[in-house]
């Protein structure tokens, strides 16, 4: 709705943008072209709903005003306002205004100088959809990208450290597999025991040794216990299979994100920023990035590793031939 109202583009153009932004329905599926078009004819978004042939006021919070809805209908019907969208921006829909909480949108502008030269520039600003008098100032695309690049620099790690860390984690995984196998066997034993007790309980009921009421209480308790061990087994198995893959992706991101952001496409830049965190805020023209827990550890480790690489030549540490792996192994605290 923000983009449509700001850019006055066609729905076909907006459909392309929405797919790039990753828009999905409440069922986690991509919108079909026809379904996407129907969204912008629905009065639900300005606080009304259609039922049994009539339109009624809803109790939900409107996303747009009735006036804005009417403007969109004019755009869709081709009755004025229609204008081609000139640019697709990387970060729209990812950042919120730190003052009012509305999304940050983007625009292209032209500046005409007295000598006839025309300068084009892009900037990001609050949509002011929540607070019309929001005082958050616009920030140029160049300045915003520089801030993101600086943030990526704080978590950037050398390829040598990435390789060592994954090798170290594989060694730890091998030890953990043995421990988890013992845990898995114990959990299976407990689950099998529950199944045997259920069979015994069922036979007792068939033989009339317990009442229906007593059977139900004890049976429900055993089934609940069995389900608990089933979930524990499932969780143990999933964690064993996925945690190292997750670590590999995180270390790859920390090693390559800065360079990818500098040289990548709009889609690359968007994917990188969305990976940094899910609650990005623009406050006083400064991007606040609350890192997700998994990436936050690089804020502590990366500066130390970067400083080490700037300070030392790995093959001549203390006059002896030594590799980065050898030096990392002397600093196992990084593996904690």
pLDDT (tens digit per residue) in 266-285: 889 999 999 998 889 999 99
pLDDT at 85: 45
CA angle 153, 272, 279 (to 5 degrees): 95
Note whether 44 and 26 are within 8 A (CB). no
pLDDT at 84: 46
pLDDT at 177: 62
Q: Could you say which DSSP state residue 209 is in?
A: S
For range 169-190, the mean pLDDT? 74
For range 154-169, the mean pLDDT? 90
More confident residue, 316 or 147: 147
Structure tokens at 22: 């990753």
Q: How confident is the model at residue 239 (pLDDT cuts 50, 70, 90)?
A: low
pLDDT at 288: 95
d(CA 315, CA 294): 32
Q: The whole model's pTM is what?
A: 0.57
Note whether 170 and 188 are within 8 A (CB). no
């Amino acid at each position: 709705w923000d983009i449509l109202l700001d850019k006055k583009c066609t729905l076909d153009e907006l459909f392309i943008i929405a797919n790039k932004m990753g828009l999905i329905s409440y069922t986690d599926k991509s919108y079909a072209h026809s379904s996407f078009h129907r969204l912008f004819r629905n009065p639900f978004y300005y606080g009304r709903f259609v039922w049994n042939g009539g339109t009624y006021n809803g109790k939900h919070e409107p996303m747009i005003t009735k006036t804005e809805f009417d403007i969109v209908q004019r755009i869709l019907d081709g009755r004025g306002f229609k204008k081609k969208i000139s640019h697709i921006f990387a970060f729209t829909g990812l950042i919120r205004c730190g003052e009012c909480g509305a999304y940050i949108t983007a625009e292209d502008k032209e500046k005409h100088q007295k000598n006839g030269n025309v300068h084009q520039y892009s900037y990001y600003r609050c949509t002011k959809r929540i607070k019309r008098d929001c005082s958050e100032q616009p920030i140029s695309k160049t300045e915003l990208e520089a801030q993101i690049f600086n943030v990526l620099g704080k978590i950037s790690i050398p390829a040598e450290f990435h390789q060592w860390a994954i090798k170290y984690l594989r060694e730890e995984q091998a030890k953990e597999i043995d421990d988890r196998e013992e845990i898995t066997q114990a959990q299976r034993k407990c689950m099998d025991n529950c199944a045997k007790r259920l069979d015994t309980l069922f036979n007792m009921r068939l033989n009339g040794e317990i009442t229906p009421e007593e059977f139900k209480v004890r049976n429900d308790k055993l089934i609940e216990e069995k389900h608990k061990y089933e979930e524990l087994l499932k969780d143990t198995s999933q964690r064993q299979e996925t945690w190292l893959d997750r670590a590999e992706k995180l270390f790859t991101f920390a090693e390559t994100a800065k360079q990818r952001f500098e040289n990548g496409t709009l889609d690359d830049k968007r994917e990188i920023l969305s990976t940094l965190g899910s609650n990005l805020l623009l406050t006083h023209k400064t991007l606040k990035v609350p890192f997700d827990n998994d990436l936050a550890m690089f804020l502590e480790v990366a500066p130390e590793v970067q400083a080490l690489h700037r300070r030392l030549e790995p093959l001549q540490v203390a006059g002896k031939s030594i590799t980065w792996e050898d030096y990392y192994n002397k600093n196992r605290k990084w593996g904690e």
